Structure 1
Amino acid sequence: MTLTGNNTDTVPVVQTSYGPVRGTIDGPVAVWKGIRFAAAPTGGRRFQAPVAPEPWTDIFEANRFGPVCPQSPMPGMPLGVDIQKHEDCLSLNVWSPGSLDKPKPVMVWIHGGAYFRGASSQPLYDGRSLAENGDVVVVTMNYRLGVLGFVDFSSLNTEEHRFDPNVALQDMIAALRWVRDNITAFGGDPDSVTLFGESAGGGAVTTLMTMPSARGLFHRAIAESSPATSVYNSERAAHVANTFLEILGGADDPVERLLTATSDELLTASDALFARIPSETPGTLAFGPIVDGELVPDYPVNAFWNGTAMRIPLLIGTNKDESSLFQIMKSPLMPVDPAVIRAMFDEIAAEHPDLELPDQARIESAYSGLATKSDAMGLTRDFGFRLPTLWIVEAHSQYAPTWLYRFDYATPMLKALKIGATHATELPYVFGNIAHGPKEITYKLGGLSTGRKVSARMQQRWLAFAKYAVPVGLDGEPQWDAYNRENRATLVIDKHDTVVRDLDGPLREAWGEQVIAFT
């Protein structure tokens, strides 16, 4: 039996390539949760590329989210109700509206969380609103996080055991292959897939666009707040792996230790590594994609400039006040202390002696000499998010249609808290889940009506892009032209949307016209 559309008397059962799955009905949308797309990456498969799951014959009741990758809790980031944590976490979820008479565009979401936290089960990522409002099929996925997904232990390979690089990226590719092979049965069009993600998920999107093994698996891409330059070489990967083993301790045989350590032991050491790496090398992440020469052939920014990235339509942007969240959380990921910021530049210069960095005094003067934390947050915001995004649009717009945005909208409460349009605040508007919990404080000082209008406009743009590869707006909204070096058009999303030419002119002037590619 296949999807039966809006008949709420029939629970939809779909035959996938591995076995039948039965979903549930949520209003006009059918939902399947926790569908396995790969075998459990446990035991001898820990730190290895995903493999196909064992087929099943009994109907799988796809009525609850699958386990999420082990992770420490994070205030303000609920993973969902009754969510289990387990290394056997490779599952995905599907929201599908309507009938099967015409295949619908597909939107595949990759969640963020510094490559360390997060899950597809987070209430924020419920796909019903997008599926219902846009008549699209929405897919969200889990992938391996932290040490289980983003530390490369391939330097420890032996004849007895293999450690694969970039296993989390390979998880994402396995999920995309599942979509290619199965989404037709859920009402989706496998030839019209938009991959979208935010933060680490946005970084995954821009990285996957440069990976040969991902070609043909998606046809449009949306990258929100992508840390596109947080991709590292194999030498640094080996250093991170050795540092992790030092923290983990407990055995003379590192291979045996990695394979037999409990999830809790790995998680404890991961937490320590997460804090240690950015303290030793400011501005870098403990976890992230690795340029391994095969799966990830080159630094993504280089690939975009060389024209070797997928030449597909791209919608990309950042938020106006990205760094304020990290400051409030006292996160080590984005330094705000002037001495640490200067150390970050020194570290980059030492690691990349052939790199021509802009004059540091000139840059600091553009941020008032880093006299206040606000100035420092502006510099780290631009260095970590806005500049990599600009480098990509300057490059990719030469090869494929590219649209640039900046999200500026902040509710009165977020302004009062001096948070503004910080990192991830666009997500409720994209998913249409702008009041998703009883303890939600975002609208305590008003702004819900405006927020709903912002959400409607953003959803219209994102959904139009997924359907037609052009982010057309609602009637009466400004025309958002594709980016080129003549117009440098940027959509500024606020109470009212505007299109600004060369919004980032002062930023380019401060940092110089030369594009910095991390090679």
Structure 2
Amino acid sequence: MLLSLLSVIFAATASVQAVDPLVDLTYAKYQGQTLQNGVNQWLSVRYAAPCIGNLRFSAAQEPLSENTTQDATKEGAVCLSANNQEGLQFGSARQPMAEDCLFLAVYAPANATVDSKLPIMFFIQGGGFGSNSNANFNGTGLVEASGMNMMVVRINYRVGILGFIGGSAVNADTKGAVPNNGLNDMVAAARWVKQHAASFGGDPDHIVLSGDSSGGNAIDILLTANDGAGFPDLFVGAAAESTGWGSDPYAVDRDSQLTAAINATGCSNSTDPIDCMRTMPISEFQTKLPKGGWGPTIDNKMLSAPHYQLMEAGKFQKIPVIYGSASNEGTPDFISNQSASTAADIENHIRNQVASITDEQVTSMLAAYPESLNNMSFFGRDVSSKNDTLRKGKGVQWQRDASVLTELKLQCVAAFFSDMFAASSVSGNYHYRYNILDSTPGGKNDQGLFTEHTSELYAIWGTNNTDGGDPGCFKLDSSDPLSCATGQKIVQAYWISFVRTLNPNTHRLDGSPEWEEWSIAQPKRIVLDNTAASMETMGAATGEVVIEGMNQRQRCNSLVLPLSKTINAGLKSGQSLPPFANGTRADPTLGVGSSGNTTTAVTDVTG
């Protein structure tokens, strides 16, 4: 009897002991590290088997068993970026690259137990599906800022042709090649978290997605996966930062790109061209590949149609979400033409972005984005040159071009997602405009980048936790007029609160306003500034410039968004959009500036 009682006591005591940095995952033991700030970290945990050799182009497989303890105090390799060799990404010793790259990192409070059930932030980095461009972010700051009340997981996933090979020959492959492996990797990593979260103190039933740029795009696709069911067994919320979209082609639309890769690698005469590329040494393969972006392909699993159509039809997982953008999304050189000097440069860039655009639409776009945008943004920000030497773009029409791309590729798209969640009456539908501006000497203001694409990541993750490019204003005392330290804390608190409770208001910073939800009739978004936050209505923002009789809400819905949708649908010259939701329901945004889609159907989401 006494022995039984002691056994119960010992078992109860063991169940509440803090998680040991040496964690046993059954297939392997990983030695992590306890930091001085009271956070445990495990930096290079395999969530899948090495994606090399015969597993190149295959979906992620279960991680292999290891007989020795694995060192998780050092970073594992990030996934090999498109057309590059194994080595250092961006020349950074922090970011070694290799084909063998399916690692994740875990950050959790050192006092967590297997019963803590901490909410989990699951971060999907961006990089245009061509690189892991936000590699090796440090999650300790988020855990600490949460009061030791959350867990952070960040993952690598395959990119370029290694992650997104597609085409008819891939579908016909009998040796394991499948499209969308980058997306498959994300799901494999999430399933790993679901299985092992408790071993680190996490709640397997509270995984909240966070992702920027193409990571945000990936979130959009994951929510529309499985013909709109998404992954309800995995995800309970999502924050898509600076999200946009590219095209979502069918396999046959990838055939010319796949053929070019087969020819360039010398595999065209092989009896099995896919296997020829599969078995080629990685250095030779990467050297021979032609330039060109790869991304998601419609496969009737991850994607059953261009995902804007799935959103229109209400075919997406209904969970609380945050969508939003930075004020000057389009200023970086990988989005806008920083050398744009003439109206012809602007027109050519628009035509290159929207293959199906008509001459009439081009004329309307040029009128809606006049030369005045080179000096004053549509939010009333002075975007004229502050420092000709430091200014990144030398073209006199750069800011105008950036304004076009800001809305065409990003801001109007993010608003569309919020509208579709509102149309489905999803509770917990939040939207933001990130507006923090670094005006310190040499900062983003001097560079002409202002509040650029994905700059909100610096605020969300906190100082010294990202890529070393923290805005100088983060480091200034809040009493300094150039400081944005308070703004950073406000942003981070909203995101932590959302991860913890699916509501950004529950644990918001004292004195910051309630973040109101977005609706179609009242498209409210929070503006995140250097020293404060405030609510605004899209189309009626303080300082907003009305151009050609249209505010931003009207411009997005009536002019820009139909063009954005043609990009996602991959339409060519002479093709036009199908009716909204392929005619299965009316456009809920009609009457708030939307002219609806045109009526010639190209694809049918319901067929």
Q: Which residue of the partner structure matches residue 199 of structure 2?
A: 185
Q: Which residue of the partner structure matches residue 283 of structure 1?
A: none
1:386-445 CA distance string (max 9 Å, x none): 1211111111122213111111111112111111001122111110135868x7584289
Displacement of 1:42 after TM fit? 1.1
In structure 2, distance between residues paired with 1:233 and 1:170? 17
The one-letter code of the counterpart of 1:289 is P
Question: Which of 274, 286, 309 lines up with 1:255 in the alignment?
Answer: 274
Displacement of 1:266 after TM fit? 3.2
Q: Which residue of the partner structure matches residue 509 of structure 1?
A: 554
Query: CA 1:337–1:466 in structure 2 vs 1: closer, same or farther (change >3 Å)?
Result: same
Query: CA 1:451–1:513 in structure 2 vs 1: closer, same or farther (change >3 Å)?
Result: same
Displacement of 1:342 after TM fit? 3.9
Q: Does 1:231 align with 2:241?
A: no
Displacement of 1:245 after TM fit? 2.6
Question: Which of 407, 421, 425 lines up with 1:396 in the alignment?
Answer: 421
Count of residue pairs the alignment pairs up: 491
In structure 2, distance between residues paired with 1:103 and 1:340? 53
Counterpart contact for 2:336–2:405, Cα < 8 Å: no
Greater shift after overlay, 386-395 or 363-372?
Answer: 363-372
In structure 2, distance between residues paired with 1:196 and 1:183? 17
Q: Which residue of the partner structure matches residue 65 of structure 1?
A: 75
In structure 2, distance between residues paired with 1:296 and 1:441? 36
In structure 1, distance between residues paired with 2:420 and 2:470? 40
Q: Does 1:433 align with 2:459?
A: no
Q: How does 1:269-308 map to 2 (within 5 A)?
A: 269-270=288-289, 272-274=290-292, 286-308=293-315
The one-letter code of the counterpart of 1:273 is K
Counterpart contact for 1:228–1:389, Cα < 8 Å: no
Q: Does 1:18 align with 2:37?
A: no
Question: Which of 487, 490, 498 lines up with 1:457 in the alignment?
Answer: 490
Greater shift after overlay, 224-233 or 141-150?
Answer: 224-233
In structure 1, distance between residues paired with 2:488 and 2:75? 25
Displacement of 1:205 after TM fit? 1.0
Q: How does 1:30-429 map to 2 (within 5 A)?
A: 30-71=40-81, 72=84, 81=93, 83-97=95-109, 98-100=111-113, 101-118=115-132, 121-122=135-136, 125-134=137-146, 135-156=149-170, 160-212=174-226, 214-249=231-266, 251-253=268-270, 254-270=273-289, 272-274=290-292, 286-326=293-333, 337-344=345-352, 347-349=355-357, 359-368=361-370, 372-399=397-424, 400=426, 401-412=428-439, 413-429=443-459
Displacement of 1:373 after TM fit? 2.4
The one-letter code of the counterpart of 1:432 is G
Counterpart contact for 1:394–1:485, Cα < 8 Å: yes
Query: CA 1:259–1:345 in structure 2 vs 1: closer, same or farther (change >3 Å)?
Result: closer
1:118-147 CA distance string (max 9 Å, x none): 26643xx10000111112100011111111
Displacement of 1:453 after TM fit? 1.6
The one-letter code of the counterpart of 2:446 is A
In structure 1, distance between residues paired with 2:336 and 2:363? 28
Displacement of 1:99 after TM fit? 2.2
Counterpart contact for 2:247–2:306, Cα < 8 Å: no
In structure 2, distance between residues paired with 1:328 and 1:345? 10
Displacement of 1:447 after TM fit? 4.9
Query: CA 1:434–1:115 in structure 2 vs 1: closer, same or farther (change >3 Å)?
Result: same
The one-letter code of the counterpart of 2:127 is G
3-state secondary structure, aligned to 1:131: helix
Query: CA 1:156–1:296 in structure 2 vs 1: closer, same or farther (change >3 Å)?
Result: closer
The one-letter code of the counterpart of 2:291 is L
Q: Does 1:470 align with 2:500?
A: no
The one-letter code of the counterpart of 1:233 is Y
Q: Which residue of the partner structure matches residue 280 of structure 1?
A: none
In structure 2, distance between residues paired with 1:433 and 1:131? 13
Greater shift after overlay, 470-479 or 239-248?
Answer: 239-248
The one-letter code of the counterpart of 1:487 is Q
Displacement of 1:56 after TM fit? 2.7
Displacement of 1:451 after TM fit? 3.1
Counterpart contact for 1:219–1:312, Cα < 8 Å: yes
Displacement of 1:260 after TM fit? 2.8
Query: CA 1:33–1:266 in structure 2 vs 1: closer, same or farther (change >3 Å)?
Result: same
1:137-188 CA distance string (max 9 Å, x none): 0001111111100221452455653420101100000000000000011000
Greater shift after overlay, 146-155 or 35-44?
Answer: 146-155
Query: CA 1:441–1:95 in structure 2 vs 1: closer, same or farther (change >3 Å)?
Result: closer
Displacement of 1:361 after TM fit? 2.0
Q: Which residue of the partner structure matches residue 499 of structure 1?
A: 535
Greater shift after overlay, 359-368 or 444-453?
Answer: 444-453
In structure 1, distance between residues paired with 2:209 and 2:466? 24
3-state secondary structure, aligned to 2:332: helix
Counterpart contact for 2:180–2:296, Cα < 8 Å: yes
Counterpart contact for 2:130–2:159, Cα < 8 Å: yes
Query: CA 1:120–1:414 in structure 2 vs 1: closer, same or farther (change >3 Å)?
Result: closer
In structure 2, distance between residues paired with 1:104 and 1:418? 41
In structure 2, distance between residues paired with 1:493 and 1:287? 33
Question: Which of 507, 520, 525 lines up with 1:485 in the alignment?
Answer: 520
Displacement of 1:250 after TM fit? 5.7
3-state secondary structure, aligned to 1:232: coil
Counterpart contact for 1:3–1:187, Cα < 8 Å: no
Query: CA 1:434–1:32 in structure 2 vs 1: closer, same or farther (change >3 Å)?
Result: closer
3-state secondary structure, aligned to 1:222: strand
Query: CA 1:2–1:17 in structure 2 vs 1: closer, same or farther (change >3 Å)?
Result: farther
3-state secondary structure, aligned to 2:498: helix
3-state secondary structure, aligned to 1:359: helix
Greater shift after overlay, 49-58 or 459-468?
Answer: 49-58
In structure 1, distance between residues paired with 2:92 and 2:193? 24
Cα RMSD (Å) of the superposition?
3.1
In structure 1, distance between residues paired with 2:134 and 2:473? 27
In structure 1, distance between residues paired with 2:101 and 2:330? 30
The one-letter code of the counterpart of 1:379 is V
1:316-364 CA distance string (max 9 Å, x none): 11111112112699699xx9932422423661359xxxxxx98332222
Q: TM-score, normalised by structure 1?
A: 0.86
Unpaired segments ≥5 residues, structure 2 = 1-13, 375-396, 541-549, 570-607
The one-letter code of the counterpart of 1:360 is V
Counterpart contact for 1:434–1:452, Cα < 8 Å: no
Counterpart contact for 1:18–1:55, Cα < 8 Å: yes
Counterpart contact for 2:170–2:178, Cα < 8 Å: no
Query: CA 1:358–1:264 in structure 2 vs 1: closer, same or farther (change >3 Å)?
Result: farther
3-state secondary structure, aligned to 1:241: helix
Displacement of 1:242 after TM fit? 2.0
Query: CA 1:298–1:327 in structure 2 vs 1: closer, same or farther (change >3 Å)?
Result: closer
Counterpart contact for 2:121–2:209, Cα < 8 Å: yes
Query: CA 1:418–1:310 in structure 2 vs 1: closer, same or farther (change >3 Å)?
Result: same
3-state secondary structure, aligned to 1:386: helix
Query: CA 1:193–1:82 in structure 2 vs 1: closer, same or farther (change >3 Å)?
Result: closer
1:42-89 CA distance string (max 9 Å, x none): 11111011110222343222111111222349xx97586464322111
